[in-house]
């Protein structure tokens, strides 16, 4: 019955599209897309071998008002239908026919409904899951060891330590039929970094001063100081149309979308779903799927059930337990790291011996196995994983050693004073269970730990205000740039917004590494930082997480390490 209902739903969507798409769209041309080819203040990875489809056994290794939005083909204000029919209207979008698929509609169950569809709203991850298919950046991460490669950029060169010249790709069209130009790229950069733009600022773009057009196909981006990570930062900045965005006044793009990506907005039914349809003028060739439906299902177990019942093809952001029993349980090394911060400015954890003892007391391999069913990997003596630039192979995580921890507690003169460990209640991926397990391991080694859970506002106050910092705090950091520079700048440098460390020698090293333009020299500086912070830890280095998905048995898709769910990379068998 559920399969029948889903089939009728898909047929209804396709009939609606057939009625409203431009003439000549019944057999959409195309070829497969992408086949080969520092963390936000409220944000709180793992082998680089690539994606794994794990056996389904525990512990196994292996908002619009109404339903039609302005993106509706044939509807009022539709950016995707400007009287263009056939691929001739988009010279750069012609490609060979996409292979026939028995499921032209792919349904993705996602945790939350976005607040807007503006790709420059940095804090709205639920928005980005969808806009990643509508908009594109100048650079995109690709590869088993993720590196930024040109996307809407055709190439770049460094003019000097502060100025990067970007050449944009030719033959790229927005969904309204207008050509993507250097003016659009300049506008996009300057809009995102403008302090007057009423949105939480991109921490990832904080080094950018601005951009200016220097030619028909070129722009120059200027940074505040030498920044070797600029191409990585630009993977977080999608390109918008200057004319279209300005026509929507100075506010965000709330219910509309006009990108260059392989999919365009069809409609947004508030509280239910957002539907995308493929864009005939896409420069990269047509994807296999005609339609992508994003359904909003808050509970992970319910998202998994939607896949099991045939009501969805993909369930995003599953817990390890909910992945068990999926037709396909897919995972990829993610960018998220779980760690426990020490307060080094006051209290018992000022002692280096105490911080070393805490690291010996906690067994991350046991936590990864028992709490995350091996959908996580122990951090090897640093807050990172292989694949992050600056991750050091010169240090490794010490095995759990309760005896050694006890000796260090004695050396520190610890007499059992209460130590507060704070975690956020009701939060990400088993955090409460993890906090409880870590507290248990610390107690077993001789720490007198008082475990405290706080609601989000209280927790964030303790995270960002050193005066409110507890002895220990469980935190999560998403390293979206795959660069250890952001980790050290945010978490260790005295000016970092999560830092409770003030070490002059470390500050100098961090500042030198984040401005060093020579990659080999920069790597050496990160090796030195890793060694120093292994010997004198500022945290318990816990776990790098995998992103987990449930998928239908006939879906051919490999999750990406950058967490993007790109419909254009999907096929049905």
HEC letters along 43-65: CCCCCCCCCEECCCCCCCCCCCC
pLDDT value, residue 250: 60
Average pLDDT for 524-528: 98
- Closest CA relative to residue 72, chosen from 309, 229, 266, 278: 266
pLDDT above 70 covers what percent of the chain?
80
Distance CA 353, CA 409 (A): 7
237 pLDDT above the threshold of 80: yes
Q: pLDDT tens for residues 45-74?
A: 222 222 333 333 333 322 222 222 233 332
Q: What is the pLDDT of residue 103?
A: 76
Q: pLDDT-based confidence at 123, cuts 50/70/90? A: low
User: Band of the pLDDT at 160, cuts 50, 70, 90?
Assistant: very high
Q: Give CA–CA dist 96/101, Å, rounded.
A: 15
pLDDT in tens, 165-212: 999 999 999 999 999 999 999 999 999 998 887 555 567 888 999 999
- Using the predicted structure, report yes or no on whether residue 1 has a pLDDT greater than 50: no
For residue 427, what pLDDT band results from cuts at 50, 70 and 90? low
The whole-number average pLDDT for the span 264-293 is 96
Sheet with 163-168: strands ordered across:
153-160, 163-168, 218-223, 208-213
Q: How far apart are CA 382 and CA 392, in angstroms?
A: 8
Neighbours of 216 (CB within 10 A): 11
pLDDT digits (tens, 9 = 90+) for 398-426: 889 999 999 999 999 999 999 999 999 87
| pLDDT at residue 311 is higher than 90 | yes
Helix (H) or strand (E) holding 147: strand 147-150
Q: Provide DSSP, 264-301.
A: EEEEEETTTEEEEEE-TT-TT---S-SEEEEEE--SHH
CA distance 320 to 326: 11
Q: Please provide the average confidence, as pLDDT, over all residues in the chain.
A: 84
Which of 117-121, 153-157, 257-261, 552-556 comes out lowest in average pLDDT?
117-121
Is 136 within 8 Å of 279 (Cβ atoms)? Answer: no
d(CA 239, CA 306): 33
- Alpha-carbon span 429 to 477, nearest angstrom: 13
Q: Give the model's confidence band at 482: pLDDT under 50 very low, under 70 low, under 90 confident, else very high.
A: very high
Q: pLDDT at position 126, please?
A: 86
Q: What is the pLDDT of residue 214?
A: 98
Q: Give me the phi and psi of 434, to 5 degrees please.
A: -65, -45
Tokens of 164: 């990067």
CB 93 within 8 A of CB 173: yes
- Strand blocks (E) in 456-573: 472-478, 539-551, 555-556, 571-572
Confidence of residue 397 (pLDDT cuts 50, 70, 90): confident
The reported pLDDT for the residue numbered 243 is 95
Look at residue 281 in the predicted model and tell me its pLDDT: 96
pLDDT band at 428 (very low <50, low <70, confident <90, very high): low
- Is the per-residue pLDDT at 43 higher than 90? no
Long-range interactions of 144-148: CB distance < 8 A, separation 24+: 144/48, 144/49, 144/50, 144/387, 145/48, 145/386, 145/387, 146/387, 146/482, 146/561, 146/562, 148/231, 148/232, 148/234, 148/235
pLDDT surpassing 70 at residue 4: no
pLDDT of residue 12: 53
CA torsion, ordered 366, 370, 373, 376, to nearest 10 deg? -40
What is this structure's pTM?
A: 0.83
Place of tokens 């009501």: 311
CA atoms within 13 A on the CB side of 471: 20
User: Is residue 144 scored above 50 in pLDDT?
Assistant: yes
For position 431, what pLDDT does the model report? Answer: 83
Ranges of beta strands (E only) in 459-533 are: 472-478
Among 290-304, 368-382, 417-431, the minimum mean pLDDT is found in: 417-431
Q: Which residue has the higher pLDDT, 303 or 39?
A: 303
When pLDDT is cut at 50, 70 and 90, the band that residue 38 belongs to is very low
Query: What is the DSSP code (8-state) at residue 339?
Result: E
């Amino acid at each position: 019955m559920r399969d029948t209902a889903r089939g009728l739903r898909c047929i209804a969507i396709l009939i609606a599209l057939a009625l409203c798409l431009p003439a000549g769209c019944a057999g959409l041309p195309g070829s497969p897309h992408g086949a080969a080819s520092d963390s936000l203040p409220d944000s709180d990875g793992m082998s680089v071998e690539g994606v794994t489809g794990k056996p389904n056994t525990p512990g196994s290794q292996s908002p619009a008002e109404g339903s039609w939005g302005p993106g509706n083909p044939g509807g009022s204000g539709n950016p995707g239908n400007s009287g263009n029919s056939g691929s001739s209207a988009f010279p750069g979008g012609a490609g060979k026919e996409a292979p026939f698929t028995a499921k032209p509609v792919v349904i993705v169950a996602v945790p939350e409904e976005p607040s807007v569809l503006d790709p420059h709203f940095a804090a709205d991850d639920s928005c980005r899951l969808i806009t990643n298919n509508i908009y594109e950046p100048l650079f995109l991460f690709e590869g088993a060891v993720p590196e930024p490669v040109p996307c809407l950029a055709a190439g770049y060169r460094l003019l000097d330590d502060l100025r990067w010249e970007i050449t944009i790709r030719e033959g790229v069209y927005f969904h309204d039929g207008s050509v993507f130009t250097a003016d659009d790229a300049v506008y996009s950069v300057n809009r995102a970094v403008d302090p007057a733009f009423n949105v939480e600022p991109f921490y990832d773009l904080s080094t950018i001063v601005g951009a200016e057009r220097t030619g028909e196909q070129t722009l120059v981006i200027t940074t505040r100081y030498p920044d070797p990570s600029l191409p990585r930062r630009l993977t977080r900045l999608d390109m918008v149309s200057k004319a279209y965005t300005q026509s929507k006044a100075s506010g965000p793009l709330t219910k509309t979308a006009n990108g260059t990506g392989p999919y365009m907005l069809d409609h947004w039914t508030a509280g239910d779903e957002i539907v995308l349809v493929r864009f005939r003028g896409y420069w990269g060739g047509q994807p296999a799927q005609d339609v992508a439906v994003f359904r909003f299902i808050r509970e992970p177990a319910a998202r998994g059930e939607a896949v099991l019942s045939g009501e969805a093809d993909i369930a995003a952001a599953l817990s390890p337990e909910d992945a068990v029993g999926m037709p396909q349980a897919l995972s990829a090394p993610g960018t998220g790291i779980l760690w426990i911060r020490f307060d080094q400015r006051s209290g018992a954890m000022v002692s280096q011996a105490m911080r070393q003892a805490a690291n010996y007391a906690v067994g991350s391999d046991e936590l990864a196995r028992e709490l995350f069913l091996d959908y996580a990997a122990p951090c090897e003596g640093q807050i990172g994983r292989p694949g992050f630039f600056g991750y050091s192979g010169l240090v490794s995580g010490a095995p759990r050693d309760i005896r050694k921890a006890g000796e260090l507690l004695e050396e520190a003169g610890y007499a059992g004073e209460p130590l507060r460990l704070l975690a956020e209640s009701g939060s990400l991926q088993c955090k409460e269970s993890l906090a409880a397990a870590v507290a248990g391991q610390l107690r077993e080694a001789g720490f007198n730990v008082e475990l405290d859970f706080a609601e989000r506002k209280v927790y964030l106050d303790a995270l960002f205000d050193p005066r409110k910092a507890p002895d220990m705090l469980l935190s999560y950091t998403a390293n979206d740039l795959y660069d250890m520079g952001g980790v050290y700048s945010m978490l260790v440098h005295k000016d970092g917004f999560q830092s409770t460390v003030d070490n002059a020698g470390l500050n100098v090293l961090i500042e030198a590494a984040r401005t060093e333009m020579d990659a080999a020299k920069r790597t050496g500086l990160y090796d030195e930082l890793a060694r120093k912070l292994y010997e004198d830890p500022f945290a318990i280095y816990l776990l790098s997480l995998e992103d987990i998905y449930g998928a239908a048995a006939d879906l051919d898709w490999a999750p990406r390490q950058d967490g993007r769910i790109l419909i254009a990379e999907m096929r049905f068998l």
